[in-house]
Each structure stands twice: as C-alpha cells, then as structure tokens.
Amino acid sequence: MSRAAEAVMTDGRVRGGYPARRMSTKSHNKSFQAPKGTRDFYPEELLRRRYIAETWRAVSIRHGFEEIDGPTFEHADLYTVKSGEGILSELFSFRREGGDDLYALRPEFTPTLARMYAARARQLPSPTRWFCIPNFFRAENPQRGRLREFYQWNVDVIGGQEPSADVDVLECGIAALRSCGLIEINCPVHFNDRRYFEGFASEAGVPADKLAALLVLIDGYEKWSEERVSEYLKQHDLDQSTIKKIDESIRQMGPNRPGFEGLSHTINELEQRGIGSWSTVDPHIVRGLAYYTGTVFEVIAEGERAIAGGGRYDNLIELFGGPPTPACGFGMGDVVLSLVLEDRGLMPKGMGELMDAVECVMRSYSMRPDAFVFSNGDAAAEARVVPLMAELRRGVEAPGYQGRPWRPERYAVRPMHVRTTGKSTRNVGKLLKDAASSNARFAVILESGEHATVKDLTTGEEHKDTPIEKIARKIAG
C-alpha cells in the first residue's frame, strides 16, 4: 500500500487545521453526513490544503520534477499484480452495471506510475522525474493516521542510478519540510538499506522464504498489539527469539556488515548536498512493502505517524510490462504534515494569512528553469555540479530572519529552479543546446572547482571566470 501515513484523526475530529465533523449519528430529523473517513473542505480549510499542495508543487518544480496525474480508478488487477488478491478487501472496488470488468478507486499511485512509464518507456528521458498530488481511497476503518480519502504528494525518479536518485528524492522531501519552516530536530529522516537488514536477518538464521513476512512484522512491530504479534509469528512460523537475535545484531551494527556499502554511499551524497544533518541511519526502518529493493526511509515527527516514507523499487516497472528499470520514490501525506505545522505554530492562520501564504508560494517559483548546470568535463568541475545545484535550489536565508516561513523576505537569495543533463557527454556545444531547449534563463558551465562561465541564454551575454560562490546572486539578479 502507500509509502506514507496520509491523515490523522483524533478524538473523533480531523486535526491539523481541517474541519471537525461528527461521524454518522442517529437523529429524529433526516440529515446527510459526509461519508465516514472523508473530509469537507470549506474555503479556509481548502486554503490550508492548497498551501501545502502549492509548497509541494513549488519544491518539486525547483528540483526538476514534472507533474503528472492518472485516472481516479484503475482496473483492479493493476493492484493485484503487485499485492495479490488479498488487496481487494482493502479497496473500494466496483463493476459498471451490466459490465464484467472490475475497477478500483486508486489506493496509491505507484502502480499507475509504473503502468504509465511502461507504456512510453522508449520515448521518455532517462532518468524520468515525476511528481503528482492526487487524492486516494482506502476501504479501511478510519483511525489515527488513516482516512478513507486522503491527499498525498508522490515524487519519483525512474531510471536513475543509486545513490544519486535516492538522494534526489530525499533532497526534494527535505526541501519541502524546510520550506514550511521545519528544521532537522522536528522531522529527521530515518533511512536504511534493505540489503543491510537482510544481513541482520541472515545472521539470525531467517530463511530467504521467510524474509518478506519478517519485513512486514518488523515494520509493524511497535504499532501492533502483543496478541497480533503473537498471532503473526505463529501464522508465518517465526519465533520471538528471531526478533531478539536481529535486535542484538542491530546493536552491534557497523561498516563491515553486508549492505553497509550502500548506506555509506548514500551518507556521502547527503553530506555533499548539505542535508546530512537531516538524516540518520536507522536499521529498524524496513518498510513492509515487498517491492522495495534497496534504500528505504521515513520522515518521523515525535509522537506522530510517519510524515513521509519511501524507497528504491528496482523491479516494479518490469512487473507492469516495462523494461528492467531502477526507480526510487516517496509519498508524503497532507494531514500529518498539517498537524505537525499547526503544533509548531507554522500553519498560516485565518483567511488573510492563508491567502498571503498561498500567493507567496505560487510566486516563489517559475516553470521556466533559472539555470541549467553542467561541467566542461574537468574532474574538479564535475564534482561541484551536484553541490552547486543543491545550493541554488536551497537559496540563501536572510541572517536573523524571524518572520513567517512563506514570506519572500526570508531569503537573501531566493531558491531557484535548477536542472542539469542526464547525458554522459560533456561536449559543451551540445549541452548548451540542451540548456536552450529546456528554456533555461542561464547556462552555468563549471570550468573548474572554483570558477564557471555563466551565459544568459536570452541575450547571449557571457560572464567568464565567475567565482562559484557568486553564481547564485548573478542569476538571481
């Protein structure tokens, strides 16, 4: 199912700035209630949702992702292919009157994304960077952290290689949290590698055919009752000593264990992009879905369900009829994030402030890239491409700023929409053509680890030997 907790309910109310509404009650007068587990959005509540959605959209576009969407319902077997027939009990499914085809309202986006990519794999760029902000549906009993209809931001890199693609999506998610005014202490990213966990499981003597069941158990262990854990252990022929052995292995975690090399590469790239302080290795993070194959992660706020979660799924595109294609992505829910922002005084209050917040966010980005960054092939220059892009996308915060996080005065240099090439060539002439075809305002050609040529693609004017630390201000004007 989904890679994130999508909504929060508390004491019969929906929190996080969303409207409180009684569930169905008996009355002498006939009245109609919204369906159980759904929400009504009056103007103020809708502006709150829009503030979050526009923040997601702004961050996605600045990081080079393109927006997509798909149908609200799909053929039900799109979900059974990935999750088995048992998934049908968790879906809102239906047949058209007189028809034979079974359909289901979408409970997540990953199968739709895989179907869409597989249909046009030959025509799409590599890597392909997509995001979407749809609503989803689940036929579950509403509870804290889960509603029957919810909104979720999905960000995916398809065809990208690890660890760069993994960190691309992590960087985008962290940027959204930062844009909302959250800091590392509020919402750290806990990440792991499935292959690292498999090393622990192997040491504990878990057979390969029991691994999938064990992952589901570890993912739900702290949330399940003792009775449910006991029943699950019995059902899958596992025992409590297995969990204890794995815990012992985790306590002795270290760089010589199988799978750690993947984690070390991810750690290094997080540091290069200036977001290492947001992330922490957590071997208990496994994500219960069977299709994850490598890096997995969750954004966790104290006392709440995960705000976001995701990971690498290298075999899924092929399962849906596409070519073998690596992929990585995450989902972030609107209501959990809304709750966290409200609890920390970061959610806009009242119609005036909400309108200001939405307008500021919508004006904060351009569909047209501010810069297209690449190197001339020099090793030192090539090593600076990714860190420079991260700096430009992050912007420069004004010293001592204490205002609302959405206001433009927060930045001495605004965050920018930056793209780069996915090609292996370092032929400057060809890459300048790519920069022009992307409609970027500037091309930034890194000539060394210290200097670059900044070319205005509208006027043709060039600024050679520009110190790298001055590029952001030159592009921002």
Write the DSSP assignment of 358-415 as a string of letters. Answer: HHHHHHT--SS-SEEEEE-S-HHHHHHHHHHHHHHHH-EEPTT--S-TTSGGGEEE--
Give the residue-averaged pLDDT of 256-276: 85
DSSP E strands in 275-386: the ranges are 279-281, 295-300, 306-312, 327-333, 371-375
- Return the structure tokens found at 275: 């977001």
Give the residue-averaged pLDDT of 425-446: 96
Beta pairing partners, 193: 295
The phi, psi pair for 380, rounded to 5°, reads -65, -35
* pLDDT in the model for residue 19: 45
Q: How far apart are CA 405 and CA 403, in angstroms?
A: 6
Asked if 440 and 372 count as a contact pair (C-beta separation under 8 A), the reply is: yes
- Return the structure tokens found at 456: 């205005």
Residue environment code for 212-243, b if the CB has 16+ CB neighbours within 10 A, otherwise e: ebbbbbbbeeeeeeeeebeebbeeeebeeebb
- Interval 329-375: pLDDT, tens: 999 999 889 989 999 999 999 999 999 999 999 999 999 999 999 99
- Interacting residues of 403 by C-beta distance below 8 A, sequence separation 6+: 409, 410
Which one, of 337, 344, 351, 341, lies nearest residue 299 by Cα?
A: 337
Strand order in the sheet with 73-75: 73-75, 102-105, 93-95
Task: Choose the most confident range, by mean pLDDT, from 79-93, 215-229, 267-281.
Answer: 267-281
Mean of the per-residue pLDDT values for the chain?
88
Beta pairing partners, 14: 9
Asked if 153 and 184 count as a contact pair (C-beta separation under 8 A), the reply is: no
Asked if 286 and 218 count as a contact pair (C-beta separation under 8 A), the reply is: yes
- Interacting residues of 331 by C-beta distance below 8 A, sequence separation 6+: 2, 3, 4, 6, 108, 109, 152, 153, 154, 308, 309, 310
Q: Which helix (H) or strand (E) holds 179?
A: helix 164-179
Q: What's the sign of the alpha-carbon dihedral 141, 39, 348, 366?
A: positive
* pLDDT in the model for residue 10: 36
Task: Choose the most confident range, by mean pLDDT, from 43-47, 183-187, 204-208, 299-303.
Answer: 43-47
- pLDDT greater than 90 at residue 254: no
* pLDDT in the model for residue 367: 96
Q: Would you call 396 helix, strand, or coil by DSSP?
A: strand
Length of the chain: 477
- pLDDT greater than 80 at residue 84: no
**Bond prior to 125 in cis (omega within 30° of 0):** no
- pLDDT greater than 80 at residue 321: yes
Q: Would you call 205 helix, strand, or coil by DSSP?
A: coil
Which of 211-220, 294-303, 339-348, 355-364 is least confident? 211-220
DSSP characters over 94-156: EE-TT---EEEE-S-SHHHHHHHHHHTTTTS-SSEEEEE--EEE--S--BTTB-SEEEEEEEE
Place of tokens 């504990």: 204
The pTM (predicted TM-score) of the whole model is 0.88
* pLDDT in the model for residue 476: 87
130: exposed, middle or buried (Cβ count in 10 Å: 0-12, 13-18, 19+): buried
> What are the helix (H) ranges across 204-283?
211-220, 226-235, 240-251, 260-272
- pLDDT greater than 90 at residue 303: no
Q: How far apart are CA 477 and CA 309, in angstroms?
A: 37
- pLDDT greater than 60 at residue 6: no
Give the residue-averaged pLDDT of 27-51: 87
- Interacting residues of 171 by C-beta distance below 8 A, sequence separation 6+: 63, 273, 275, 390, 393
Asked if 8 and 305 count as a contact pair (C-beta separation under 8 A), the reply is: yes
The phi, psi pair for 211, rounded to 5°, reads -65, -45
Q: Which helix (H) or strand (E) holds 465?
A: strand 462-467
Q: How far apart are CA 466 and CA 100, in angstroms?
A: 65
Q: Are strands 396-397 and 306-312 parallel, antiparallel or unpaired?
A: unpaired
* pLDDT in the model for residue 225: 82
Q: How far apart are CA 69 and CA 88, in angstroms?
A: 23
Q: How far apart are CA 197 and CA 159, in angstroms?
A: 24
Domain at 366-477, CATH homologous superfamily: Anticodon-binding domain (3.40.50.800)
Q: How far apart are CA 288 and CA 309, in angstroms?
A: 11
